[in-house]
Amino acid sequence: MKLFILVALFGLSIAQHNPHIKQGRTAIVHLFEWRWADIAAECERFLGPNGFGGVQISPPNEHIVLNSPWRPWWQRYQPISYNLCSRSGSEDELRDMITRCNNVGVNIYVDAVINHMCGASGGEGNHSSCGSRFNAGTKDFPSVPYSALDFNNNKCKTSSGDIENYSDVFQVRDCRLVSLLDLALEKDYVRSKVAEYMNKLIDMGVAGFRVDACKHMWPGDLEAVYGRLQNLSTVWFPNNSRPFIFQEVIDLGGEAISAREYFHLGRVTEFKYGAKLGTVFRKWKGEKLVFTRNWGEGWGFMPDGNAVVFIDNHDNQRGHGAGGASIVTFWDSKLHKMAVGYMLAHPYGVARVMSSFRWDRRFVDGKDQNDWMGPPSNSDGSTKPVPINPDQTCGDGWVCEHRWRQIKNMVIFRNVVDGQPHSNWWDNGSNQVAFGRGNRGFIVFNNDDSDLDVTMNTGMSGGTYCDVISGQKEGGTCTGKKIHVGSDGRAHFKISNSEEDPFVAIHAESKL
């Protein structure tokens, strides 16, 4: 009987590790701060047709609206209620977006902020995205409703009420994260309001959640909340599908709280992945690509089945969160494309691509004074739409890394090689490496100063392939380099590091 219960519980939680991505798709993209109307259009015109599996959206619930600084991106991480109107749009627009994305095979994952409400100094009034009244001073959020009773008050033992010592797990979980009013998730009532919010989104058709700030919540409390979640809507997902859960736990090692504590509940963000791969591509600390032969668990990362991986995220691309200076972002576009390419070619983890907006970086003593800046916006603070240029790039400050040919084509590469083993490794002992995915794909990187000019075994069937980095297959012809693979699977590659993109990738569907 005990064994039976164990098996049942195990089965339930393992299910929450499955992103329920549609057949033939593998990767997801974070459309950070995009409006729902733009995401709906992007699903139909770009993400669906190009094989993207899902979108992580910004928090859809009501949030504080701040004037100083002016409408920062992080105001969305300060909930006022679970009403579904935010800087990205209304509840109707959200519902329309979820439906339209689902209709073209693209899942929606919601960024769920359930650890806290707004900051203690958030003031009072109705400066909130739906106009709900609240009082941060008295911890009154009538639109949920939450009152002072629903927060961790005396449970926190620091004099400031904030987390002061990250080595003290009680502080990290019972005190306020940078003064954000900390919800008492041990209370049945709080759990029920959070679950009600998440279930409403499940009813609307979302596939799961990126759960914010999980380090700051007790695993047992999260388990209780997740346990109240319904299965996914059978309009779009198979019967008995658990919502996909991936938890933000920043664990670069050496802290009191480890990512491992959350493995049984869902997947976890593997922050070591982008921090380390950034160090490798930057060639810092003596790192070289040759050392990535055993990339993944071999590098001390979490088990494959637990990991969500990414090169940068909305926090660490602007110095927030963790990872440090090694993180490669769109600001270092050449290295970023290579690192994202490496991630998408490699089998480890569920891969998430970042899609950013530009801001006016201004460094003083190595610190970006404008790391708070919100998305491209109009003078009234409303978020600007994402215009698509004739060359398919985005305008008005939206970076759209996911539309860059190299990244989009590597998303397709990952789909084509799905399920194939990491194979046919080659390296030159330094920063020139190559690997394949069975007989379905092969990728070669030159991150050294000297040219790469080598013939190697690709594991692919003989024929001529189109390199999907320098170009792509269009109507039977190749707009980039052509790679000839002999009947013995060997091919010659020549890559100069001075090229715009010093890497080459071919796959079964880029065969001419």
Ligand X SMILES: *[C@@H]1O[C@H](CO)[C@@H](O)[C@H](O)[C@H]1NC(C)=O
Instruction: Please identify every residue annotated as catalytic.
Output: 212, 248
CA atoms within 13 A on the CB side of 239: 0
Residue closer to ligand X, measured from CB, 135 or 479: 135
Distances (CA, A) of 174 to 39, 114, 245: 36, 14, 22
Say whether 402 sits in a helix, a strand or coil. Answer: helix
Residues that bind ligand X (CB under 6 A): 15, 126, 131, 165, 167-168, 231, 234, 239-240, 242, 428-430, 432, 448-450
Q: Please give the structure tokens belonging to residue 504.
A: 């080459």
**Shortest distance, CB of residue 441 to ligand X, whole angstroms?**
23
Contact present, 235 and 339 (Cβ < 8 Å): no
Which CB, 16 or 247, lies closer to ligand X?
A: 16
Query: How far from 317 is each of 220, 254, 393, CA to CA, in Å?
Result: 31, 22, 20
Question: Minimal distance in Å, beta carbon 238 to ligand X?
Answer: 7
- The phi, psi pair for 149, rounded to 5°, reads -65, -20
Of 494 and 511, nearer to ligand X (C-beta) is 494
What's the number of CA atoms in the CB half-sphere (13 Å) around residue 163? 19
Q: Which DSSP category does 128 fall into? A: B
Question: What's the CA gap between 488 and 384, in Å, rounded?
Answer: 53
Of 299, 254, 257, 252, which Cα lies nearest the Cα of 272?
A: 252
Whole-angstrom Cα distance, residue 406 to residue 410?
6
Helix (H, G, I), strand (E, B) or coil at 306: helix
Is 257 within 8 Å of 221 (Cβ atoms)? no
Place of tokens 């990512």: 259
CA-only gyration radius of the chain, Å: 23
Paired tokens of 292: 């990535």
Closest CB to ligand X among residues 202, 345: 202
- Bridging pattern class, strands 350-355 and 482-485: unpaired
Closer residue to ligand X in complex, CB, 228/484: 228
Rounded to a whole number of angstroms, the minimum distance from the CB of residue 216 to ligand X is 16
**Nearest approach, Cβ of residue 338 and ligand X (Å):** 15
DSSP codes of every residue in 8-19: HHHHHHHHTT--
Minimum CB distance to ligand X, residue 129 (Å): 8
CB of 174: closest distance to ligand X in angstroms?
13
Are 345 and 441 within 8 A, CB to CB?
yes
Residue closer to ligand X by CB (options 68, 239) is: 239
| Shortest-Cβ-distance residue relative to ligand X | 131
Question: Minimum distance between the CB of residue 134 and ligand X, rounded to whole angstroms?
Answer: 11
Report the relative pairing of strands 134-135 and 28-31 from DSSP bridges. Answer: unpaired
- At its nearest, how many Å lie between ligand X and the CB of residue 33? 20
Least gap, CB of 245 to ligand X (angstroms) = 13
Assigned token pair, 273: 């992945």
Structure tokens at 509: 């569907």
* Closest by CA position to 201, among listed 60, 17, 36: 60
Q: Which is nearer to ligand X, 277 or 433 (CB)?
A: 433
d(Cα 56, Cα 134) in Å, to the nearest integer?
28
Q: Which is nearer to ligand X, 18 or 409 (CB)?
A: 18
Is the distance from CB of 468 to CB of 507 less than 8 angstroms? yes
User: Closest CB to ligand X among 132 and 420?
Assistant: 132
Cα–Cα distance between 318 and 90 in angstroms, integer?
28
Q: Measured between alpha carbons, how far is 110 from 204 in angstroms, rounded to an integer?
A: 11
